[in-house]
């Protein structure tokens, strides 16, 4: 894993002075840009042609699909890890390494989400989806290899010298990604379309049932990204709980904003097709309650997310800005 450790040095430019006052949206955008650049540097280092000592070779087609699958994206999950960990004084380049594991799982989830038997999408981040640019088998394998690479990173001492901390992180990310988390939520999302019922009609779900689907398929990984910072910083249970509450509100708000963008967004700006949730009968708060009510819920969740950060006072200004960004984002 020497390539990865050297990537930490590449990311050394990540350091920034912590502000004690409320951050402006521009400060948030600049900070996200810095994390994005660091993530990109790490990706270059992780996805090199040179096999690691335990590997025989790195098949060029698979490697190329993995690079393609990890290109672009807002990098919000590593941002949440880095900013949550910063609350506890964790060196940013270490938190970034952990954030990469979350980004890899996220990228894998998108590749599989876009496959024909899932959402059947051909546009992602402004480009053809992985199975369109390559082929379905390669896309499945690229997803598999990104997911497993994420856990390889978590096993690395560069994440934290204490193995018990690393094991907690493995447990956190695997639960957030698996049966009771993202993968389980994706199952419920497809079921809600009605594709496994005899009449193939979308299920009629209550707002609480929709919230459960969304908090699993999208919220679980976002919540875990916030908690991961607390674990890395060996935070008190109360502080971890506060970040958990923030992450839950953030996660649900994030999916509502994704659904609003699908309903109202502009394809060129979004980088993915819009209007597809309605066509497929996806269970969203937008389809259930309408745009105005969904927007109201989004605002309420942002207030909830901010309130959860009160134990951190002004130190959490950047996380507050991240939550506010969800109300205005258009991609």
Smaller CB distance to ligand IPE: residue 182 or 235? 182
- The residue from 45, 168, 177, 218 that contacts ligand IPE (CB under 6 A) is 218
Cβ proximity to ligand IPE: between 4 and 109 the closer is 109
| Residue 172 binding: pick among Mg ion, ligand IPE, none (C-beta 5-8 Å cut-off by kind) | none
Least distance to Mg ion from the beta carbon of 331, Å? 12
Which member of 182, 224, 260, 286 binds ligand IPE (CB under 6 A)? 182
Q: Which one among 147, 258, 320, 325 touches ligand IPE, defined by CB under 6 A?
A: 258
On whether the CB atoms of residues 191 and 181 are closer than 8 A, the answer is: no
Exposed / middle / buried, residue 148 (Cβ in 10 Å: 0-12, 13-18, 19+): exposed
Regarding 23 and contact with Mg ion (CB under 5 A), the answer is no
- Write the interaction track for Mg ion spanning residues 110-149; mark x where CB under 5 A is met and - where it is not: ---x-----x------------------------------
Q: Segment near ligand IPE (CB under 6 A), from 69-77, 148-156, 242-250, 287-295?
A: 69-77
In terms of CB distance, is 70 or 255 closer to Mg ion? 255
Residue 129 found at the interface with ligand IPE (CB under 6 A):
no
**Planar angle of CA 227, 163, 96, nearest 5 degrees:** 45
Residue 247 binds ligand IPE (CB under 6 A): no
Count of C-beta atoms within a 10 Å radius of residue 267:
12
Q: How far is it, in rounded angstroms, from Cα 39 to Cα 41?
A: 5
β-sheet bridge partners, residue 127: 124
Question: H or E segment at 123?
Answer: strand 123-124
Which stretch in 61-69, 73-81, 85-93, 127-135 sits in contact with ligand IPE by CB under 6 A?
73-81
Residue 59 three-state SS = coil
Q: Which is nearer to ligand IPE, 235 or 298 (CB)?
A: 298
Any contact of residue 76 with ligand IPE (CB under 6 A)? yes
Residue 315 interacting partner from Mg ion, ligand IPE, none (CB closer than 5 to 8 Å by kind): none
Report whether 37 contacts 74 (CB < 8 A). no
Burial class (CB in 10 A: 0-12, 13-18, 19+), 226: buried
Our finding on whether 73 is near ligand IPE (CB under 6 A) is yes
* Residues 229-258 contacting Mg ion, CB under 5 A: 258
Burial class (CB in 10 A: 0-12, 13-18, 19+), 200: exposed
């020497």: which residue's tokens? 2
| By the rule CB under 6 A, 186 interacts with ligand IPE | yes
What does the H/E/C string look like for 23-44? CCHHHHHHHHHHHHHHHHHHHH
């Amino acid at each position: 894993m020497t390539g990865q450790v050297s990537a930490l040095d590449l990311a050394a430019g990540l350091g920034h002075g912590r502000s004690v006052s409320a951050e402006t949206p521009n400060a948030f955008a600049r900070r996200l840009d810095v994390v994005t650049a660091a993530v990109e540097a790490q990706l270059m280092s992780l996805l090199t042609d040179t096999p690691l000592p335990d590997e025989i070779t790195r098949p060029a087609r698979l490697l190329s699909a993995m690079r393609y699958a990890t290109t672009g994206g807002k990098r919000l999950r590593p941002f949440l890890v880095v900013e949550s960990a910063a609350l506890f004084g964790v060196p940013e380049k270490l938190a970034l390494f952990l954030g990469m594991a979350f980004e890899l799982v996220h990228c894998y989830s998108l590749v599989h989400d876009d496959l024909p038997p899932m959402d059947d999408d051909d546009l992602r981040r402004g480009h053809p989806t992985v199975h369109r640019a390559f082929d379905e088998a390669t896309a499945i394998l690229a997803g598999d290899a990104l997911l497993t690479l994420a856990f390889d990173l978590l096993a690395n001492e560069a994440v934290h010298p204490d193995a018990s901390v690393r094991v907690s992180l493995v447990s956190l990310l695997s639960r957030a990604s698996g049966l009771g988390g993202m993968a389980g939520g994706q199952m419920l999302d497809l079921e809600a379309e009605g594709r496994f019922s005899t009449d193939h009609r979308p299920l009629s779900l209550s707002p609480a049932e929709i919230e459960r689907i969304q908090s699993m398929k999208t919220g679980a990984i976002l919540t875990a990204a916030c908690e991961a910072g607390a674990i890395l910083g060996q935070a008190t249970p109360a502080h971890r709980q506060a970040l958990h509450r923030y992450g839950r509100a953030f996660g649900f708000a994030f999916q509502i904003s994704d659904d609003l963008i699908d309903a109202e967004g502009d394809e060129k700006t979004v980088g993915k097709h819009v209007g597809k949730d309605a066509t497929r009968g996806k269970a969203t708060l937008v389809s259930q309650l309408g745009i105005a009510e969904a927007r109201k819920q989004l605002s309420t969740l942002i207030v909830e997310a901010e309130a959860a950060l009160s134990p951190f006072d002004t130190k959490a200004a950047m996380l507050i800005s991240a939550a506010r960004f969800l109300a205005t984002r258009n991609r």
